[in-house]
Amino acid sequence: MLNRYARAFFTKVFTPVAKLFLSLGISPDIVTIVGTLGVSFGALAFYPRHEFLIGTLVITAFVFSDTIDGVMARMSGRSGRWGAYLDSTLDRLGDAAIFGGLVLWYAGGGDDVLMAGLALACLILGSVVSYSKARAEGLGMTANVGIAERADRLVAVLLTTGLVGLGLPEVILGVVLALLALASLITIIQRMWAVRVQALAAP
């Protein structure tokens, strides 16, 4: 949903930033790498210490690099397979760091096996969601279906985690993680079914 309706809005918002970076000689690849490092630092430095608010603010400050680097690539004519590969690969690292930071807290100082398990399920299933699409495309098919796109999952977990840092009961985060895990599982099944239909229809 967010991929469809929010991408155009944020592209307009960050176009001036993209122009500024290009005028300074910064490449889209550098923005991608710095953004991933920032997201990973925010998640792994603060979430395992239960500093959910500051961690979410740091992550949010860097997470929009995923939009900025794309705008820069299109404006500079550098859009290509390498940039797409780098972007999607590092996206997986950033996502894993976010859920991994939650796993580290709840498996350690948070002492909550259920919450740790839910965060781990989101990490694993989210990775499979991405892989199922990439593998389909590698086989010449498409898997652009599912109820849990990456942007939706990120907004849900970051918003809820940040609010928990402001005092929202952690049980709400548990509910969100459970729903995200379920939505990710459904998305995997949807994509597998879509690929199966295409594979069986192929000559």
Q: Is 138 helix (H, G, I), strand (E, B) or coil?
A: helix
- Asked if 133 and 149 count as a contact pair (C-beta separation under 8 A), the reply is no
Element at 182 (helix H, strand E): helix 170-201
DSSP for 59-81, written as a single string: HHHHHTHHHHHHHHHHHHT--SH
Distance CA 57, CA 63 (A): 10
* CA-wise closest residue to 31 among 39, 95, 57, 98: 39
Residues noted as catalytic:
91
